[in-house]
A = this chain, B = another copy of it.
Amino acid sequence: MKKYLITGFSGFVSWHFLQHLEFLEVPVQVFGVDLLGPDFDYTHFKYAGCRFEKIDLLDKNQVDNLLYQFQPDYILHLASYSSVAFSWKDPVTSYRNNTNIFLNLLEQVRNLGMECRVLSVGSSEEYGNVSEADIPLIEERPLDPVSPYGAARVSQEQLSKIYVDGFGLDIVMTRSFNHIGPRQRETFAVASFARQLVAMAKSGMKEGELSAGDVAIVRDFLDVRDVVKAYYLLFERGQKGSVYNVCGGQGVSLSEIIRKLAAIIDIKVNVVKKENLIRPLDNRIIVGSNEKIRRETGWEPQIPLSRSLEDIVSYWQGKL
């Protein structure tokens, strides 16, 4: 029976990955770790037998014990400070955690001589300031990050390559583009928009004001359920030491997303620009090419944007 270690177990992506394992109906063992306990019942999965432990991945001894005891076949490394905005507020905490946690993990895999595959989850933020001529972004494009978060992700990817080439570890890297879906926290733009609009509708408003940063920016949004399928396939079929865009290949502006959400909820919306939500530096447009991951793993994104947004609205309607 295959064993998965999932860091950042309590988060949004982890839950959807567990759902995917469950959907596949193949019995697996899962060991989840996180700083905080999950807000879902991880014992109810039938095929994924889950254990959970609160662990600080900055603590070398805890990481060492964990790996030695569990002996995973796969490590899905989701633990991170994944907010670009936070990395501008507290660059040191964001950067230090994102790089040091990952390095601790790789180092203990190396020290224990473990034969396991690590999925290093990176970000489209690694590309940095891109010109429209570079769109869609392919994996070969030089990286030029423009946020502390992006710089940490570049470093994670470079360290991965170094551990593969220098120490023989089995690591596959992603550059994951924006993902959206039910259960995403409202610190992320689309979740925040949906939550605000649903709250207005629930209070009987037909029209309302939405606080947002720069809504002209264009992003490549992928449903989290397509993301976790990609991760599963990269464990199975990804090439050691190789990096893959995980993206839908289509760009959509935040204002378009807001328009679509408002249509689903049936509310009229006026966007109010909040200066504190504008980042010091940001990319106008980020759209990736998913040609490589399709070709090498057979992955295909299956959930259209309209369905993602409907499901996100339903989620917030149920939650609020």
Q: Are B154 and A281 interface neighbours, CB within 8 A?
A: no
A85 to chain B, nearest CB (A): 12
A151-176: CB near B (< 8 Å → 1, else 0) gives 11011001101100111000000000
Tell yes or no: A96 within 8 A of B by CB: yes
Tell yes or no: A100 within 8 A of B by CB: yes
Interface of A is mostly: helix
A206 to chain B, nearest CB (A): 40
Kindly list chain B residues whose C-beta atoms are within 8 Å of the C-beta of A147. Answer: 162, 166
Tell yes or no: A142 within 8 A of B by CB: yes
12 contacts between A and B (CB under 8 A): A92-B100, A92-B104, A100-B100, A144-B158, A146-B162, A147-B166, A148-B159, A148-B162, A151-B155, A151-B162, A166-B281, A167-B280
A58 to chain B, nearest CB (A): 10
Q: Bound complex: CA of A148 vs CA of B163, how far in Å?
A: 9
Q: Bound complex: CA of A145 vs CA of B100, how far in Å?
A: 18
Which of B107, B146, B151, B154 sits near A92, CB closer than 8 Å? Answer: B107
Copies in the complex: 2
Tell yes or no: A91 within 8 A of B by CB: yes
Chain A residues bordering chain B, tally (CB within 8 A): 32
A212 to chain B, nearest CB (A): 20
Q: Are B145 and A162 interface neighbours, CB within 8 A?
A: yes
Q: Which of A88, A100, A155, A159 has the most CB of B within 10 A?
A: A155
A279 to chain B, nearest CB (A): 8
A113 to chain B, nearest CB (A): 15
Tell yes or no: A95 within 8 A of B by CB: yes
Q: Bound complex: CA of A251 vs CA of B272, how far in Å?
A: 59
